[in-house]
Amino acid sequence: MSQHAQIVRAMPNTPAAVMRGITVYVPNGNVPKQQAGVCGELLSSVGESVSIDDEGLMDAVTAVSGSGPAYVFLVIEAMAKAGIMSGLPPELAMRLARATVSGSGELARLSEETADQLRINVTSPGGTTAAALNVLMSDDGIQPIFDEAIKAAAKRSKELAG
């Protein structure tokens, strides 16, 4: 490829299918600012777009955002399966899990509060949410699992990039 080629590397995600995606893009040094801006506007037509200057971040972007919808879908599956194991009918368990994730995501998107504050807001000391969070936030809970998952996805992104 020519050393003068104008290239914009972009990583969208599947919520773009419902106009709720986010695409991170990085123009190379040959792309004029105006054209980079037009690229951002185009990508924003299916959600949000974020321009970055450091292409080295794209593997982490891919791991968090490009692959991220699959993690959220897995959370929905896991919540629904746990609901079924607790006695809910499958259709109700799935409906509750989908609506809870969708509504919580929208609340996080629109709120001025941080995700940790939103979590604290819904957690009554000694209540049901606190009991569940004690498991999810334990030393072998969800954070170290996500750390390893994101690391694995970023590593694979690097491998695929060559």
Give residue-wise pLDDT tens across range 6-30. 999 999 999 999 999 999 999 999 9
Q: What pLDDT, on the 0 to 100 scale, is given for residue 101? A: 98
- Please spell the DSSP secondary structure of 5-62, one letter per residue: ---EEEE--GGGGGT-EEEEEEE-TTS-HHHHHHHHHHHGGGEEEEE-S-GGGHHHHI
CATH class for the region spanning 66-161: mainly alpha
Q: What pLDDT, on the 0 to 100 scale, is given for residue 2? A: 80
Q: What pLDDT, on the 0 to 100 scale, is given for residue 126? A: 97
Phi/psi of residue 153, each to 5°? -65, -40
Q: What pLDDT, on the 0 to 100 scale, is given for residue 162? A: 82
CATH 1.10.3730.10 domain range(s) in the chain:
66-161
Spell out the per-residue pLDDT of the chain, length 162, in tens: 688 999 999 999 999 999 999 999 999 999 999 999 999 999 999 999 999 999 999 999 999 999 999 999 999 999 999 999 999 999 999 999 999 999 999 999 999 999 999 999 999 999 999 999 999 999 999 999 999 999 999 999 999 988
Q: How far apart are CA 9 and CA 7, in angstroms?
A: 6
Q: What pLDDT, on the 0 to 100 scale, is given for residue 1? A: 66
